[in-house]
Structure 1
Amino acid sequence: MSKTFTDRLNETEAANAEANQGNLRLGQQIRDLRKSKGMTISYLAHQINKSVGYLSQVERGVSSLPIPVLQAISDTLEVQITWFFHTDTPQKEDEVDYIVRRNTRRHLEFSGTGVSEELLSPRLSGEIMMLQTTLEPGTVSDPEPRQRKGGEDAGVVLSGTLELTIDSKQFTLEEGDSFSIYDDKQHFYKNPSKTEKTVIIWVLTSQNY
Structure 2
Amino acid sequence: MPQIGRHLRELRRRRQLSSRELALRAGISHSTVSLIERDRMSPSVDTLGAVVDALGTTLVEFFSGLRSSYNYSPVYRPDDFVEIGNPDEISYRVIGFNQPARKMQVLMETYQPLADTGDIFSHDAQEAGLVLEGRIELTVGQQSWTLGPGDGYYFDSNLPHRFRNLDEGVARIISAITPPSY
Determine if contact 2:137/2:146 at 8 Å carries over to the other structure.
yes
Higher gyration radius (CA): 2
Determine if contact 1:131/1:202 at 8 Å carries over to the other structure.
yes
Structure 1 unmatched runs, 5+: 1-35, 38-93
- Mapping for residues 12-51 of structure 1, pairs under 5 Å: none
Q: Paired residue for 1:163, among 126, 137, 160?
A: 137
Q: Paired residue for 1:200, among 170, 173, 182?
A: 173
Q: 3-state SS of the aligned residue for 1:130? A: strand
- Mapping for residues 73-112 of structure 1, pairs under 5 Å: 96-110=72-86
Q: CA RMSD in A?
A: 2.5
Query: Partner of 2:93 in structure 1?
Result: 118
- Aligned partner of 1:103: which letter? D
- Spell out, residue by residue over 1:32-89, the C-alpha distance to the aligned partner (whole angstroms, 9 max, x if none): xxxx98xxxxxxxxxxxxxxxxxxxxxxxxxxxxxxxxxxxxxxxxxxxxxxxxxxxx
Q: Provide the rounded CA distance (Å) in 2 between the counterparts of 1:116 and 1:133.
A: 6
2:109 maps to 1:133: yes
For residue 120 of structure 1, report the CA deviation from its aligned partner: 1.3
Change beyond 3 A, Cα 1:111–1:135: closer
2:155 maps to 1:181: yes
Extract structure 1 runs of 4+ deviating beyond 3 A: none
Q: In percent, how many aligned pairs have the same letter? A: 20
Query: Partner of 2:164 in structure 1?
Result: 190
- Spell out, residue by residue over 1:117-172, the C-alpha distance to the aligned partner (whole angstroms, 9 max, x if none): 21112516401110011000011112x111121x4210010111100000000000
Change beyond 3 A, Cα 1:101–1:183: closer
Change beyond 3 A, Cα 1:193–1:110: same
Change beyond 3 A, Cα 1:183–1:140: closer
Query: Partner of 2:21 in structure 1?
Result: none
Q: Provide the rounded CA distance (Å) in 1 between the counterparts of 2:110 and 2:157.
A: 25
Report the TM-score, using the length of structure 2 for normalisation.
Answer: 0.56
For residue 206 of structure 1, report the CA deviation from its aligned partner: 3.1
Change beyond 3 A, Cα 1:202–1:111: closer
For residue 102 of structure 1, report the CA deviation from its aligned partner: 2.2
Determine if contact 1:121/1:131 at 8 Å carries over to the other structure.
no
For residue 110 of structure 1, report the CA deviation from its aligned partner: 1.5
Report the TM-score, using the length of structure 1 for normalisation.
Answer: 0.49
Query: Partner of 1:145 in structure 2?
Result: 120
Structure 2 unmatched runs, 5+: 1-42, 45-69
Q: Provide the rounded CA distance (Å) in 2 between the counterparts of 1:168 and 1:124.
A: 37
Q: Provide the rounded CA distance (Å) in 1 between the counterparts of 2:176 and 2:110.
A: 15
